């Protein structure tokens, strides 16, 4: 007799959840509609309601990690598994006492994302123009979206 799957208590990483053999309620059909539908969505969910797991699942999809989705709805769909560059910001482990500390952490994480893709971000003092430069600059679109 096989033992039942483990409950994913405290696991917010989709790859860890799947690779660890934990229970996963398949929401990939909803995620498919989310990413193939309207160009912009606002997601509002209460605390402790799976936002981090959803974002981690989206990252795995956009990283093209199809092997993680075997047996789930999206694996049998017409999704093309194109790989996209990901800017993943995790503010859950940082504490911010001032707006300057918050700005500094955003710039640090954006710089790490840029470096991951081999990009050299300019010297920015604010995160918003840096994000705009990374998102709309010709470097990403030339390298990844052509």
Give the Cα separation of 53 and 59 in Å (integer): 10
Query: Residue 48 has which token pair?
Result: 């402790």
For the stretch 67-101, pLDDT in tens is: 999 999 999 999 999 998 888 888 877 778 898 89
3-state secondary structure of 129: helix
- DSSP secondary structure string, 38-61? -S-------TTSSHHHHHHHHHHH
For the stretch 102-112, pLDDT in tens is: 998 999 999 99
What residue spans define the domains of the chain?
A: 14-76, 99-144
Predicted pLDDT at 141:
46
């Amino acid at each position: 007799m096989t033992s039942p799957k483990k409950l994913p208590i405290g696991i917010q990483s989709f790859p860890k959840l799947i690779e660890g053999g934990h229970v996963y309620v398949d929401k990939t059909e909803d995620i498919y509609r989310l990413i193939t539908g309207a160009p912009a969505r606002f997601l509002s969910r209460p605390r402790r309601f799976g936002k981090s797991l959803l974002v981690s699942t989206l990252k795995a999809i956009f990283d093209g990690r199809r092997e993680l989705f075997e047996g789930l709805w999206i694996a049998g769909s017409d999704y093309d598994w194109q790989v996209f560059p990901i800017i993943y910001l995790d503010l859950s482990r940082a504490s911010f006492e001032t707006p300057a500390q918050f700005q500094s952490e955003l710039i640090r994480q954006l710089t790490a994302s840029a470096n991951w893709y081999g990009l050299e971000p300019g010297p920015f003092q604010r995160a918003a123009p840096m994000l705009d430069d990374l998102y709309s600059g010709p470097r990403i679109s030339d390298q990844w979206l052509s």
